[in-house]
Amino acid sequence: MPIWLIVVLVVVVLLVILCVSLYNGIVTKRNRCENAWQNIDTQLQRRNDLIPNLVETVKGYAAHEKEVLSEVTKMRSAVQSAGSPAEKMAASNQLSGALTHLFAVAESYPQLQANENFVELQRQLQDTENKISYARQSYNDCVMTYNTAIETFPGSMVAGFGGFQRMQGFEVTDASVREVPQVKF
């Protein structure tokens, strides 16, 4: 067997190994993104499970704040019924804003602030919000790594053949979430 044929075979085998390795790396990164999204979804569900208890506790003390309570309930339903990750992200942003407004309203009720059940629910929701924030950051990191892998050479060639699509990271698009709520009495 001539030496040039051996060199060609070695180069072909190395290219195949490189392509398989790149493909597997991209699949791994995509799976990490999906796992990171599932972590966000888990924390959103935890928050949704805590909200009815919080609303019921606040109702007893702030019966005339029905508008705030109904807004929180409405936003919670929107998160639960959202289908795509993008819809869930948008609904979650709105719910975060409604919860911030609810806590701002609750501050004007000293007897509510002294209620042990309310304080514990508030602590759990704040803990869950922190976990959601961390999970969103982790998701965005995974998406950035994945998108970089499919957009840079030579991964872009493998991604093109493999049908890999760019993923959308989490971003706050609702301006009301960025604003500090104003409470007027």
In the chain, where are the structural domains located?
Answer: 3-178
The owner of tokens 């508030």 is 122
Using alpha carbons, select from 149, 168, 143 the residue that is nearest to residue 24. 149
Token digits for 119? 């304080």
Q: What is the pLDDT of residue 120?
A: 86
Nearest to 57 by CA among 40, 42, 72: 72
Quick check: pTM over 0.85? no
pLDDT digits (tens, 9 = 90+) for 139-157: 999 999 999 999 999 999 9
CA distance 93 to 123: 19
Structure confidence by residue, pLDDT tens digits, 16-72: 999 999 999 999 999 999 999 999 999 999 999 988 888 888 877 776 677 888 888
Tell me what percent of the chain is helix, strand and coil, each rounded to the nearest 5: 80, 0, 20
- Looking at residue 169, the DSSP 8-state letter turns out to be P
CATH, domain range 3-178: 1.20.1440.20
